[in-house]
Chains A and B, each alone.
Chain A
Amino acid sequence: MNSPRSILHLDADAFYASVEQAADSRLRGKPMAVGGETRGVISSASYEARALGVRTAMSTAQAKRICPSLILVPGDFEKYERFSRLMFSYAYDLTPDVEVCSIDEGYLDLSKQGHGHPRDSAIHLAKVIRDNLKITISQGLASNKFCSAVASKLKKPNNFIEVPAGTEREFLAPLPSRWLPGIGKKTESLFVGAGLTLISDLAHMPLKQLERIAGSSASALQSFALGIDLRPVIPASAAPKSFGEQETFTSNSQDEFFILAVLRSMTDRLCRRLRDEGLAARTLTLRIRYKDMEDMMRSESIHEPSPHESDFYPLLHLLLRKAWTRPESLRLVGVRLTNLHAALPEPELALTGLAQKSATERLQLAEASDLLRRRYGKKAILRGHDLWLRKKLSSGEGGGDSLPDPGKN
């Protein structure tokens, strides 16, 4: 029988706010928050502000009403990305098996580490991060990813919870069912209404009965409820997680309008993948390949991470002009989105400002479009450039082969 795995989940506490407090000691110990500039909502609140009722995704106006002494700091995402890279670099000191899930969360597989107990490694990791970066993390150590993630989030900040192998089911049993993956605020009432208030309720329910409530995900949900999760830790390669696509044209193209339409179409698909995973990106890298095979890459960042393709459209034209400097036709173009952040959740409270309303409506519109495409196919909703590309390609004028397929590369 295989010995149980040792999976550590690392979750930085109030990451953006903590980085600001680390970088400016005058902010330490005070109610402060990051956000308010573009969207008019709180991106991250310090624990001092949380104690006074300030929450992530709350409107800044509401936050100021609740906490008049709240110090608001604009987001500096480049700084957060740098702190994140340093934080994970300490994780890489322990093991190469590190899965970076977002800027402030990741899994480490410590099963094969040759030195000491994984518990000691976790304590050491928290200490070096606290000493060197002046931020705190919460960690969960368990035999699988799900239990370790729950353990790290159960009692923040600056905490460590170990779930000994064999006790996973007991550990999860008394927790509300909303801790299970796929049960969110919107679906929780459905489960509670069916008497599934606690994780133990899902663990005990006959599978056939659970299928009537949870559909095809019933089996997976019950496995999680029983503390079973066989998902491996998937180490990132040298570079952190990114989303990319590239397209080789059937015949080389010098048609800038066509190339931009292809790039926009790629960006649309990449942003849909971002939204599917609840992520937002900040940096776009454009790659071109000339007909003589010379490659060129250029990248730009936007100030705040975004899950919306329309925020990246202005970069495409700019980067294409920067990269495409020779009067030669192109045989390949590609787009990559990096510097990924967790997308902000929907605001909890009624929004008042125009900017906030706009941001929320944009997200709702994007999610509705994504849902329609999933339900009725990728052609259910097309943007102007998609229609233009379809016409051009069907008339045989296009420099490319066809509408690029989603999920390439």
Chain B
Amino acid sequence: MDLIPSHPLSLLLEEIPYHPSRSFVHQVDSDQWKELGIQKKDRLLLEFRPLKDLDLALILHHGQSVLTRYRHHPKPHFLPPSPSPSIPENEAVLQGVVTCLIRMM
């Protein structure tokens, strides 16, 4: 069977959802979110909490992880980097609100 290299923090991450903050770390593998200030290899600290307007939100959409801005009005939706169109909230699954960035120097 093929092997998947484990995340360096995997043992810690497995326990995180059982704590109230319900946080994850997500490593960015490309420069696709430069427009939102995220660089390749950055680690995002994701908090699973209710969304507020203008939150930076990582969502699952069409099978892909997409970093977006959450907008509450006129209807709840996610704004990915241009030129992608906005995504209605019910078409995506929230993977976490980005509350902190860890940049690998």
Interface residues of A (CB under 8 A from B): 20, 22-26, 38, 78, 82, 85-86, 88-89, 92, 132-134, 238-240, 283, 285, 297-304, 306, 311, 314-315, 318, 338-339
Question: A86-B48, A238-B15, A299-B6 known; A25 and B1 CB under 8 Å?
Answer: no
Cβ–Cβ < 8 Å partners of A22 in chain B: 60, 93
B6 near A300: Cβ-Cβ < 8 Å: yes
B48 touches A299 (CB 8 A): no
CA distance in complex: A281, B2 (Å): 14
* Closest B residue, CB atoms, query A318: B3
Q: Is the CB of A23 within 8 A of B60?
A: yes
With beta carbons under 8 angstroms apart, the residue of A85, A133, A298, A306 that contacts B1 is A306
Q: Which B residues are in CB contact (< 8 Å) with A285?
A: 11
Q: Are B4 and A303 in contact (CB under 8 A)?
A: yes
Q: Give chain B's interface residues, CB within 8 Å of chain A.
A: 1-6, 10-11, 14-15, 17-19, 22, 24, 48, 60-63, 90-94
Of all A-B residue pairs in the complex, the 5 with the closest CB atoms, nearest first, are A85-B17, A24-B63, A25-B91, A23-B60, A89-B17
Extra contacts, 16 of them, besides A302-B4, A304-B1, A318-B3 (Cβ < 8 A), are: A24-B61, A25-B91, A25-B92, A86-B17, A86-B22, A89-B22, A132-B93, A132-B94, A238-B15, A239-B18, A240-B14, A285-B11, A298-B6, A300-B6, A302-B2, A302-B3
Closest to A77 in B: B4
Bound Cα distance from A301 to B92, whole angstroms: 27
Q: Which A residues touch B22, using CB under 8 A?
A: 86, 89
Select from chain A the residue with minimum beta-carbon distance to B48. Answer: A86
Chain B contact residues: over half helix, strand or loop, or mixed?
mixed
CB distance from A30 to the nearest CB of B (A): 13
Say yes or no: B4 contacts A23, CB within 8 Å: no
* Given A22-B60, A23-B93, A89-B48, A302 contacting B17 (CB threshold 8 A): no
5 A-B Cβ contacts within 8 A? A25-B61, A86-B48, A283-B6, A285-B11, A302-B4
Contacts of B18 in A (CB 8 A): 85, 88-89, 92, 238-239
How close is A251's CB to chain B, nearest CB, in angstroms? 29
A88 touching B17 in the complex, CB below 8 Å, given contacts A134-B93, A300-B5: yes
User: A238-B18, A338-B14 are known contacts. Are A300 and B3 too (CB-CB below 8 A)?
Assistant: yes
B residues within 8 A CB of A301?
3-4, 6
Q: How far is the CA of A45 from the CA of B35 in the complex (A)?
A: 38
Complexed CA–CA distance, A302 and B5 (Å): 9
